[in-house]
Amino acid sequence: MIFALLFLGGLIVGVPVFVTLGIPSLYELLTSPIPLSSMAHSLFDGVDKFALLAIPNFVLAGAIMARAGITRDIIDVMRAVVGQAYGGLAMVTILSCMFFAAISGSGPGTVAAIGTLLIPAMRDDGYPKDFAAAVTSSGGTLGILLPPSNPMIVYGVLASVSIGDLFLAGLLPGILMGSLLIFTTYILARRNGYRGTPTPFDRRQFLASLWRAKFSLATPFVVLGGIYGGIFTPVEASVIAVVYALGVGILSKRSLGFKNLWDALSEASIVCGGLIVIMGTAVFFGEFLTLNLIPQKIAASLLDITDSPVVMLLLIAAILIVLGTFMETLSTVIILTPILLPLIKQLGIDPIHFGILLVVTSEIGFLTPPLGVNLFVACGISGQSIEQVSRRIMPFIATIIAGLLVLLLVPQISLWLPSLK
């Protein structure tokens, strides 16, 4: 009982996640005959996972690419394709987020990289600033659904699921969700007359921008193509991504100086340093969950409500959406995976399918206050308040929920590509 009260109290008060996980576990350890040295072993085992090496490398690769001008190359190509349509620049934002997502694996990182360039451009083109921020926030959610995805890597480690299969599983859902967001953007822009300065499609301009961006556009194909082609593992691919980003930034773009490289290393260190602390305490926490049979008790309680896999997934999705409003994405994955995975397996639900649904529900958390990390990043860039952007974000949240329901009811969208291996 005290274990649960300490955990829930930490969540409610808002103390750091590693403290929320560590204090209840430490209490259980001190009141049990288990030697105190087991805490050190658990903390070490939590981060002694080879697959976790991919996260700092993918974060670093995305940070380098954002500072090397690769983001601008991607935007120029997308703008030449759809920039002349209603909501053209807003759709360029979604497309650019999809492309950058296949490099960074981070939602807020995608918002920062794309929004820094496109939110001011949309403002100058006549789009309201709150709409520009809402579009960029929504597009940034694709950063954790399209591979490589940092939450997928963490889930794969905790659930003992192939990270390569998870990456494959996220490809079609990511394209589906991106397409739905583009459609929503077009409808909203058409209704409100957001078009900027319409210009006819210029084939020469498109080919010129395509040629300038050839090395930048090749990045996700080099990284993901190598994984799916069996040339290298996700961890090896993350190293290739860093080397390729450095090569493009230094040799091709010639825009990557020492200061930019230092900033990229600092960003990766900050993101991954926090993750390491959380992962270590999460394993420690999970051992005491198992010791107290908490996953089994939760599973029994939920099974008393329903034993239908679809209804159960709907119930879990609703719970995850609520939790996502005040829990950070990686924390949600780390805390809930060991609790819900036994129930998922008991109902015969594929852990890969569940992993994709877990990531999609986390996307919604990026857009909902009080946490809403993507919202805060976009508001910082646009100068708008959370209240202003939150009103504009509602149609996009509805779109993501609609996409979630499609993925939940049609699991083959997630499982088809992994089944072809």
> Which whole number is the average pLDDT over 157-174?
92
Residue 395 has pLDDT above 90, yes or no: yes
Looking at residue 223, its pLDDT comes to 82
Q: Answer yes or no: are the C-beta atoms of 70 and 219 closer than 8 Å.
A: yes
Looking at residue 35, its pLDDT comes to 75
Torsion of CA 294, 297, 299, 302, to 10 degrees: -130
Q: Answer yes or no: are the C-beta atoms of 396 and 134 closer than 8 Å.
A: yes
Q: What are the angstrom distances between the C-alpha of 24 and each of 33, 35, 280, 362?
A: 16, 16, 14, 25
Which residues neighbour 361 within 8 Å (Cβ) at sequence distance 6 or greater? 317, 320, 321, 324, 404
> Which whole number is the average pLDDT over 5-29?
74
Which residues neighbour 8 within 8 Å (Cβ) at sequence distance 6 or greater? none
Residue type, 1: M
Q: What are the angstrom distances between the C-alpha of 393 and each of 137, 139, 236?
A: 8, 11, 37
Residue 158 has pLDDT above 70, yes or no: yes
Looking at residue 130, its pLDDT comes to 92
> Which whole number is the average pLDDT over 255-272?
82
Looking at residue 181, its pLDDT comes to 95
CB atoms within 10 A of CB 204: 8
Lowest mean pLDDT of 4-13, 221-230, 310-319, name the range: 4-13
Q: Answer yes or no: are the C-beta atoms of 69 and 260 closer than 8 Å.
A: no
Looking at residue 311, its pLDDT comes to 92
Lowest mean pLDDT of 36-45, 107-116, 410-419, name the range: 36-45
Looking at residue 1, its pLDDT comes to 66
Looking at residue 251, its pLDDT comes to 84
pLDDT digit string, tens, across residues 277-328? 776 777 777 777 767 777 677 777 888 888 899 999 999 998 888 877 767 7
Higher per-residue confidence, 205 vs 186: 186
Residue 197 pLDDT level (bands cut at 50, 70, 90): low
Looking at residue 373, its pLDDT comes to 78
> Which whole number is the average pLDDT over 242-252?
87
Dihedral (CA of 162, 168, 172, 173) sign: positive
Looking at residue 285, its pLDDT comes to 74
Residue type, 353: H
> Which whole number is the average pLDDT over 319-345?
81
By CB atoms closer than 10 A (0-12, 13-18, 19+), residue 30 is exposed
pLDDT digit string, tens, across residues 21-67? 778 777 777 777 777 777 777 667 767 777 778 878 888 888 888 78
Residue 134 pLDDT level (bands cut at 50, 70, 90): very high
Looking at residue 404, its pLDDT comes to 95
Looking at residue 77, its pLDDT comes to 81
pLDDT digit string, tens, across residues 73-98? 877 787 777 766 777 888 888 988 88
Looking at residue 405, its pLDDT comes to 96
> Which whole number is the average pLDDT over 264-288?
74
Residue 227 pLDDT level (bands cut at 50, 70, 90): confident
Using CA atoms, how far apart are residues 230 and 207, in angstroms rounded to an integer? Answer: 32
Please give the mean pLDDT across all residues of the chain. 83
pTM: 0.82
Residue 352 pLDDT level (bands cut at 50, 70, 90): very high
Looking at residue 116, its pLDDT comes to 83
Looking at residue 133, its pLDDT comes to 93
Using CA atoms, how far apart are residues 138 and 367, in angstroms rounded to an integer? Answer: 7
pLDDT digit string, tens, across residues 396-412? 999 999 999 999 999 99
Least Cα distance to 111 among 130, 69, 139, 84 occurs for 139
